[in-house]
Structure 1
Amino acid sequence: MMHADLIDQEDFRDRLLSLGVFVPGDASAAQACELAILGMTPDRAAALKRMVEDMLGSGATILPAVREAISRNLLPALVKAH
């Protein structure tokens, strides 16, 4: 049986934590995006952009709540940061 990679809220949170963004365990994907945006520096924006590109380009299945939060919250903030 084939197992597909899956990016859920916990995996998304872990990825943000690895970038130094504190995200509480009970935060939704939208809340995690908002926390990532708070106090965004050019370095953090670049790291977040790379993270999103890696996630979207990985071929992994991204849960709808995570994909929607990235599209509605994180991507617009990253566009403004450039």
Structure 2
Amino acid sequence: MMHADLIDQEDFRERLVALGFSIPPGAGAEQACTHALSGLSPERATALRRLVEELLGGSATLLPAVREAISRTLLPALAPR
């Protein structure tokens, strides 16, 4: 039997909270991204970039809502300028 690591909206929220972001319980992926970006310091931006790289490059499967929120909200905000 094969078990795949799945990252759902709650897992994603918990990972952001573990990094020190204030994300309310029950927040969807899009809301979690928006909260993470509010008041983003350079240090938190670095931590958030690392998380995004880990999630997108890892072996875990991101549920569509999480992948879409990252692509639509976090990637443009964290892109180097």
TM-score band, normalised by shorter chain? over 0.9
How many residue pairs match? The answer is 81
Q: Which residue of 2 aligns with 1:61?
A: 61
Matched, 1:48 2:13: no
What is the identity, as a one-letter code, of the residue corresponding to 1:62? L
* Runs (5+) with no aligned partner, structure 1: none
Matched, 1:10 2:23: no
Q: How does 1:9-48 map to 2 (within 5 A)?
A: 9-48=9-48
What is the identity, as a one-letter code, of the residue corresponding to 1:35? H
Find runs of 4+ consecutive structure 1 residues off by over 2 angstroms: none
**Deviates further, 30-39 or 55-64:** 55-64
SS of the equivalent of 2:79 reads helix
Identity of aligned residues (%): 64
Separation in 2, partners of 1:25, 1:39: 19
Q: Normalising to structure 1: TM-score of the pair?
A: 0.93
* Runs (5+) with no aligned partner, structure 2: none
Q: Normalising to structure 2: TM-score of the pair?
A: 0.94
